[in-house]
Amino acid sequence: MFIAPAALGFVVFFLYPALRGFYFSLTQYNLLGTPQWIGFANFAEIPHDPLFWNSLKVTVEYVVLNIGFQTVIAVLLAVLMQRLTTSTLVRGALLLPWLISNVIAALTWFWLLDYQIGLVNQFLSWLGVDRIAFFADNFWAIPTIAMVNIWRNMGYTALLVFAGLQTIPRYVYEAAAIDGCSEWRAFWRITLPLLRPVLAMVLVLTVTGSFQVFDTVAVTTKGGPVNITRVIQFYIYQKAFADGQFGYASALSVVLFVILAVLAALQLRLLRAGESDLA
């Protein structure tokens, strides 16, 4: 049977771990002994865990900054690409940061934003502004991490939106032009509404990804200073492998799963992703 290898892989590495994930979330397990069944104790503990709430707050802050700016920039770039050039060179250049790993993107900006000799701080002091410890400052740490990932993903997201723009038929714009509609109005009245289903899918994909930010934090701030950048995935990782609370970490990952599922459903619903205004 053709399906056999994939089915084997699916059952062993997706289905079985998923079920086991739920099981671990109901146990106390430090990776060494055997998991001890403790029922829903982990879940009962989560609401009283200040570090969990902190990680959720930090993650939401990151997601809002990351997705907010990234989506606006991506739509802007996509429209610009559509109107100005379809050159592969331009699209390729915008995609370049997405091809390198999160780790490399993080290290590159760690260097560019270095407090002492980073280029950005040189520029700031040349302007006469105080230097900023981007990754170590209570206020700037999360916006900085969000910025690094906007830099890496904006071109990719713009290409997704660009693909969506191609599905809007030309005659709609032509008709609008005949009616004397300006470009600015055409964007708000035609492009955005017709782009809605694509935008909804792009948002679900990017928000889900954004919630699982890990690499950038792990390479640069490691959750610090104190808990300022301890995003939820990094918290889960620390609980599982540094604190020896694998069961509790599993329970947290169940919570993350539920949050993401609810968010995805909400977005699809609110943006009426299933239906198009075209036709």
Partner 1 sequence: MSTVSLQQPLVRAPRRRRVRWGRGLAWAVMILFLVLTLFPFLWIIRTALSTTRSLPSAPSDLLPVDFTWGAFARVLGLSSRAQAIAQGGSGASVNFWLYLRNSAVYATGVTIGQVFFSSMAAYAFARLRWRGRNLVFAIFLGALLVPPIFTQLPNFILIKNMGLLNTLPGMILPTFFMTPFAVFFMRQFMLGINHEIEESAALDGAGPWRTFFRIILPLSSAPATTLAILIFITTWNDYFWPLLVGNTGSTRVLTVALGVFESQTPSGSPDWAGLMAATLVAAAPVLILFIAFARKIIDSIGYSGGK
Q: Which two tokens stand for residue 52?
A: 């969990």
- SS3 call for 166: coil
Measured in residues, the chain has a length of: 279
Site track 66-105 with partner 1 (rule: CB under 8 A), x = hit: -------x--xx--xxxxxxx-x-xxxxxxxx-xxxxxx-
What is the smallest separation between the CB atom of 271 and partner 1, expressed in angstroms?
16
What is the smallest separation between the CB atom of 139 and partner 1, expressed in angstroms?
22
Q: What is the DSSP string of 15-62?
A: IHHHHHHHHHHTEE--SSS-PEE-TTHHHHHGGG-HHHHHHHHHHHHH
Among 34, 47, 170, 188, binds partner 1 (CB under 8 A): 170
CA 230/CA 217 separation, integer angstroms: 8
227 near partner 1 (CB under 8 A): no
8 near partner 1 (CB under 8 A): yes
Cα separation values, 205 from 191, 198, 212, 258, 272, Å: 21, 11, 11, 16, 15
Task: Please identify, using beta-carbon distances, which residue of 48 and 88 lies nearer to partner 1.
Answer: 88
Task: Please identify, using beta-carbon distances, which residue of 141 and 240 lies nearer to partner 1.
Answer: 240
Q: Which stretch binds partner 1 (CB under 8 A): 43-51, 52-60, 138-146, 204-212?
A: 204-212
174 near partner 1 (CB under 8 A): yes
Residue of 140, 138, 153 lying closest to 66 (CA atoms) = 153
What is the smallest separation between the CB atom of 160 and partner 1, expressed in angstroms?
4
Q: Which two tokens stand for residue 114?
A: 């270095």
CA 275/CA 218 separation, integer angstroms: 40
Q: Which stretch binds partner 1 (CB under 8 A): 15-23, 62-70, 128-136, 223-231?
A: 15-23
Residue of 55, 21, 23 lying closest to 39 (CA atoms) = 23
Among 133, 181, 268, 271, binds partner 1 (CB under 8 A): 181
Task: Please identify, using beta-carbon distances, which residue of 57 and 91 lies nearer to partner 1.
Answer: 91
User: What part of residues 39-68 is at the interface with partner 1 (CB under 8 A)?
Assistant: none
- Residue position matching structure tokens 């708000």: 188
